[in-house]
Amino acid sequence: MEIREPRPRTSGKRKAAIYLRISQDQTGEGLAIERQRKDCEGIALQKGWEIVDTYADTVSASKREVRRPDYERMVSDLHAGKFDAVICYDLDRLTRQPRELEDWVDLAKYRNIALVTANGEADLTNDNGRLFALIKVGVARAEVERKGARQVAALRQRAERGGVPKGVPLTGYDKDGNVIADEAKIVRRVFDLFVAGETLKGIGRILNESGVKTRRGARWDSSTITGLLRNARYCGRSTYRVREVTSDGKVRYSRHVAEAKGNWEAIVSENTFDLVQARLNDPSRKTNRAGTERKHLGASLYLCGRCGGRASRNSRAYWCPQGGHVARTGAPIDEFVLRIVEARLGLPDVLEAFSQDTGALMLETATEAQLIEARLGIVENDYDEGVIDGRRYQEASVKLREQLAKVYAKRASIVGGNALADVLSAHNPAHAFTEATLGVKRAVIDALMTVTLLPVPRGKKGFDPDTVVIEWKG
């Protein structure tokens, strides 16, 4: 609440407002609103004050995020000079927020605003009343901090036991941690699309165009999708939130993974989740606010034939941003590249050929992953048998999972983030590529080949395939 310029009260009797709020507590001691009104009117009559308006709310006064329409209207009318006194049954009826109560004390002290309670608890027109209110502020603030600490400890204990989290359930689960089949399909689709090489914006566009809404009925955006992909609960890991104060005094919250597995069914595998985290953490991913979804097949994928830099693309052409070495009409180049890829994927030996090219690397990463998973199994067994304590288990498992994520990221780079693997495993790989999204097509092209654009001699017209150099990877 803003404390505006001091203003001395004019002579004569005060004009008063009555504020009423129905208690929402579960103790059975909630006061009926009419009783509050009667007691407050009695105070006004006793003091000879004129009642100019009555304000009443039926929501909690202890939660900052909950709006109280009549409370806000009363504060606005107070600053407008409609009255210079407020009567409530007790201070808890008015507010349970320490900061708000301090504001009322300041109003009484600096603007001569009278605030009295019908139960005789406080009268801010005198020093003793203001002292009582300030003491109550301190007690309330201490209780808020203690309550917060208790809640954090309880949530952590619940997480470490693998309990289903309290509060609003995640998309895909009900409040008891049971999987909701239709929502779980959406969650898996988001993970699968991202693993296949689709961008965050691209995933949102696909879901929105399919008519899929979020649980709250909203459209999907990059922020919502990132939050879903980052949530370790989807792979069955139990997490809890930790409050941290940075060196510059700012408060931030971070999620920690508990030692216990969650007592609910995972929607995606831990391997898939770790792979997604590795890709999200990849520093080569752009994170500008304008978005990262590509609109053109070869933007930042095709290379300049002069300097080797990555080509940019506008609505019409590919060009070299480094020095204008190349400027080529985009449509015929994209059509040519797509035909080459489709033709290669249509050959009967495609699976064997690409398996030979990548087999050694895939075998190497598979062996690495098996070794790390075996070590992780040993650590988990040692913890179950009491050989190591929780702290050592946490340190070892985190380190091994980080190593495993790097191996999965390496494997993803070999097969284009699973895009190539998905296309190759289709009944008709060429058709699967043709029907794929732009993001998947880009990932497949990046996995299969390097495309270099050569300058075209001045005056030469028409598309020349020889000016597009394709080198197969492998």
CA separation for the pair 343, 340 (Å, rounded) = 5
Q: Do domains 15-141 and 181-280 have the same CATH topology?
A: no
- Checking if the pLDDT of 175 tops 70, the result is yes
In the structure, what pLDDT confidence band is assigned to residue 1 with cuts at 50, 70 and 90?
low
Work out the percent of the chain whose per-residue pLDDT is above 90.
25
- Checking if the pLDDT of 386 tops 60, the result is yes
Higher pLDDT, 61 or 195: 195
Work out the percent of the chain whose per-residue pLDDT is above 70.
74
Give me the pLDDT at residue 272, please. 83
At 415, list the tokens: 């097969």
Give me the pLDDT at residue 172, please. 93
At 463, list the tokens: 């598309």
- Read off the pLDDT of residues 10-47 as tens digits, 9 standing for 90 and up: 456 899 999 998 755 444 444 577 888 999 999 999 99
- Read off the pLDDT of residues 199-218 as tens digits, 9 standing for 90 and up: 898 899 999 998 999 988 99
- Checking if the pLDDT of 310 tops 70, the result is yes
CA separation for the pair 17, 82 (Å, rounded) = 9
CA separation for the pair 341, 398 (Å, rounded) = 40
96: exposed, middle or buried (C-beta count within 10 Å: 0-12, 13-18, 19+)? middle
Domain ranges of the chain: 15-141, 181-280, 296-346+428-474
CA separation for the pair 290, 180 (Å, rounded) = 34
Give me the pLDDT at residue 407, please. 74
Question: What are the contacts of 316-322 at 24+ separation with CB within 8 A?
Answer: 318/453
Give me the pLDDT at residue 267, please. 92
Higher pLDDT, 269 or 97: 269
- Read off the pLDDT of residues 418-462 as tens digits, 9 standing for 90 and up: 566 667 767 788 888 898 888 888 888 887 889 999 998 777 778
Give me the pLDDT at residue 322, please. 80
Give me the pLDDT at residue 264, please. 85
Give me the pLDDT at residue 123, please. 83
Spell out a b/e string for 15-28, using b for 16 or more CB atoms within 10 Å of the CB, else e.
Answer: bbbbbbbebeeeee
- Strongest mean pLDDT among 51-55, 155-159, 363-367: 51-55
Which listed CATH number (3.40.50.1390, 3.40.50.720, 3.40.50.300, 1.10.579.10) goes with 15-141?
A: 3.40.50.1390
Domain 181-280, second-level architecture: Alpha-Beta Complex (3.90)
